[in-house]
Amino acid sequence: MREKRNGKKYRCAGYLCLAAVCLALSGCAQSGKEQQEEYKQQGIVAMASGDYDQALDLFGKALDLSGGSVGAQEIDICYYKAAALYQAGQIQEAIAVYDALTEYDEQNADAWFLRGSIYAGQRDLEKALENYRQAVKLDDENYDLYIGIYENLNALGYQEEAAEFLNMALEIEGDGAYNCLNRGRIYMILGQYDAAEKALLKAVDKKEDEARVYLAQIYTLQQDADSAQKMVDAYLESKNVSSEGLTLLGNMAMDAQDYAQALEYYQQGLACAQVTNARELRKNEIAALERCGQYEDAQTKLAEYLEDYPGDQVALQEQQFLTR
């Protein structure tokens, strides 16, 4: 969930009875804030375990403690509540949460994107595109947003509409390292590897080290192993190695069936000072352990993973396989 709140005050119509709460509280006491956070965290745990009814009850209790002023915490709880409603199959109720969020903050790109994703999943393409286009209008330089919309639509078979958003992203002005890197990523998705290489090399010239990982992918696809390895080595020697970059390298090694190397990259990623994709890395580490034949270690890691993400059905099925 991208952080777009910035502490701004909102009202969540239909989910916070502010008038009634104001009669009981003139402001949320610290104990109330602490209780609200506790309910929120309990709701997140319940949602992760698949107990959506319990999660919704807890999120409702958290929202009841909002007091007369509704800020970033309450908005965040609304996002979790919408996710729980969607997972529980209460589609219209989830949409209603996003309706409230967009009504009281028309500049909220996250809510437009998430509501568009629900409409896309319901095969209401017209409404999905309306919401997606509004999202990118509001956050028009967010390449990850364009790519996320592309991935959603493409997965549902709307290839033409999906490509529209990648082409929109290519129209973003700017020639900085960030622009060149992401332009290269998009050209790669489109299969335009010459254009991707050109953009990524430009990003490297502008000191964007992560571009080397994508260049390594291109050279691997072109069966230029030497150039690919040079890019990998240069990236690993840089001062900007990230958990995301190491994940990409691990995935490349998995594709090449070099499972020991993949495992090493994933574990290096988990050891980074700042890990922004821990869940993905942990799942990938388990897969690499299995491929390496380290089944006991894989089983141990999987059990630890499921303690944190008990609602992951794919991981639960994998646990059944490993314990046979």
Tell which of 124, 155, 187 closes a domain. Answer: 124
24 pLDDT above the threshold of 60: no
pLDDT band (50, 70, 90) for residue 33? confident
- List Cβ<8 Å contacts ≥24 apart for 308-311: 308/48, 309/48, 309/279, 310/48, 310/49, 310/50, 311/47, 311/48, 311/49, 311/50
Establish if 130 belongs to a structural domain: no
> Is 279 found in the same domain as 228?
no
Establish if 247 belongs to a structural domain: yes
Identify the CATH number of the domain in which residue 295 sits.
1.25.40.10
pLDDT band (50, 70, 90) for residue 50? confident
% of the chain exceeding 70 in pLDDT: 85
Establish if 31 belongs to a structural domain: yes
176 pLDDT above the threshold of 80: yes
The pLDDT of 26-35, averaged and rounded, is 62
The pLDDT score that the predictor gives to residue 306 is 82
> Is 190 found in the same domain as 107?
no
> Is 209 found in the same domain as 108?
no
20 pLDDT above the threshold of 80: no
Establish if 291 belongs to a structural domain: yes
187 pLDDT above the threshold of 60: yes
Radius of gyration of the chain (CA): 22
The pLDDT score that the predictor gives to residue 320 is 52
Establish if 135 belongs to a structural domain: no
Establish if 129 belongs to a structural domain: no
pLDDT in tens, 68-90: 667 889 999 999 999 999 999 99
Interacting residues of 84 by C-beta distance below 8 A, sequence separation 6+: 43, 47, 52, 55, 56, 59
10 pLDDT above the threshold of 80: no
Average pLDDT, the chain: 87
Residue 175's Cβ-count burial label (10 Å; 0-12, 13-18, 19+) is: exposed
The pLDDT score that the predictor gives to residue 70 is 72
The pLDDT score that the predictor gives to residue 121 is 96
> Is 11 found in the same domain as 113?
yes
The pLDDT of 185-195, averaged and rounded, is 97
**Owning domain of residue 32:** 1-124
What tokens appear for 128 in the block?
A: 């999905």
8 pLDDT above the threshold of 70: no
pLDDT in tens, 250-307: 999 999 999 999 999 999 999 999 999 999 999 999 999 999 999 999 999 998 888 8
> Is 117 found in the same domain as 228?
no
> Is 250 found in the same domain as 186?
no
Considering the entire predicted model, what is its pTM? 0.81
pLDDT band (50, 70, 90) for residue 316? low
Q: Check if the beta carbon of residue 145 is closer than 8 Å to that of residue 131.
A: no
> Is 111 found in the same domain as 187?
no
> Is 3 found in the same domain as 120?
yes
The pLDDT score that the predictor gives to residue 202 is 98
> Is 202 found in the same domain as 112?
no
Q: Report the number of distinct structural domains present in the chain.
A: 4
> Is 163 found in the same domain as 184?
no
107 pLDDT above the threshold of 70: yes
Q: How far apart are CA 220 and CA 283, in angstroms?
A: 24
Establish if 322 belongs to a structural domain: yes
26 pLDDT above the threshold of 50: no
The pLDDT score that the predictor gives to residue 14 is 37
Tell which of 240, 270, 291 closes a domain. Answer: 240
